[in-house]
Chain A
Amino acid sequence: MRNKDTRIISYLFNEMDPSERVEFERKLIDDENLLIEVESLKQTKLRLSPLPELHPPKHIIESVLKEAEEYSRKSVINRGRSVYYAAAAVLITGFLASAILLDQNTENSSAAQASVSAPTFETTQSPINRVTSVRQASAPLQWIDSNDVIRFSDRVSQNQTSDIDSIFKNSYKKLTPVTNPTQTGAYHRNLQLTGSRP
Chain B
Amino acid sequence: MKLNNTDYIPAEFEAMQDKELVHLFRKKDDQLAFRELMNRHQAKVYSYIFSMIQNREIANDIFQETFTKVITKMDDTYNEQGKWIAWVMRIAHNATIDHIRKQKRFVDVSSSYDKESKTDFYDRLPDEDSTGQHEQLELDESTASLLKHIQNLPEEQRTVVMLRHYYEMPFKEIAELTNVSINTALGRMRYALINLRKMFDEEYEKESNNV
The proximity string for B residues 37-79 relative to A, scoring 1 for CB distances below 8 Å and 0 otherwise, is 0100011101100110000000110011001100110010000
Q: Report the bound CA distance from A191 to B184 in whole Å.
A: 101
Interface size on A, residues (CB 8 A): 38
A72–B35 alpha-carbon span in the complex (Å): 13
Q: Which of B155-200 contact A (CB under 8 A)?
A: 161, 164-166, 170-171, 183-184, 186-187, 189-190, 193-194, 196-197, 200
- Specify which chain A residues have a CB less than 8 angstroms from the CB of B71 in the assembled complex: 64, 67-68, 71
Taken residue by residue from 50 to 70, chain A's Cβ proximity to chain B (1 for < 8 Å, 0 otherwise) reads as: 111111111011111101110
With both beta carbons as reference points, the residue of chain A lying nearest to B68 in the complex is identified as: A67
B65 to chain A, nearest CB (A): 10
> Is B152 at the interface (CB under 8 A from chain A)?
no
Instruction: Please judge, given known A-B contacts A47-B146, A47-B196, A54-B46, whether A63 and B165 are in contact too, CB under 8 Å.
Output: no
A5, A10, A54, A55, most chain B CB atoms within 10 A? A54
Q: Is B5 an interface residue (CB 8 A)?
A: yes
Task: Enumerate chain B residues within 8 angstroms of A71, measured Cβ to Cβ.
Answer: 71-72
Question: Are the CB atoms of A48 and B161 closer together than 8 Å?
Answer: yes
* A13–B164 touching, CB < 8 Å: yes
Contact between A50 and B143 (Cβ–Cβ < 8 Å)?
Answer: yes
Determine if A68 and B5 form an interchain contact, defined as CB atoms under 8 angstroms apart: no
- Number of residues from B at the complex interface, CB < 8 A: 48
> At the interface, yes or no: B29 with Cβ under 8 Å from chain A?
yes
Contact check, B165 vs A48: say whether CB atoms are below 8 A apart.
yes
A62 and B5 within 8 A (CB):
yes
Quick check: is B86 within 8 A (CB to CB) of the other chain?
A: no
Using a CB–CB distance below 8 Å, which chain A residues touch chain B? Answer: 1, 5-6, 8-10, 13, 15, 40-41, 43-45, 47-48, 50-58, 60-65, 67-69, 71-73, 75-76
List the 10 closest pairs (A to B, CB-CB), nearest first. A72-B29, A6-B186, A55-B1, A1-B187, A56-B46, A64-B67, A44-B197, A9-B186, A53-B43, A54-B47
- 12 CB contacts below 8 A, A to B, read A9-B189, A10-B186, A40-B197, A51-B166, A53-B47, A55-B1, A56-B43, A64-B38, A67-B68, A67-B71, A68-B31, A72-B29
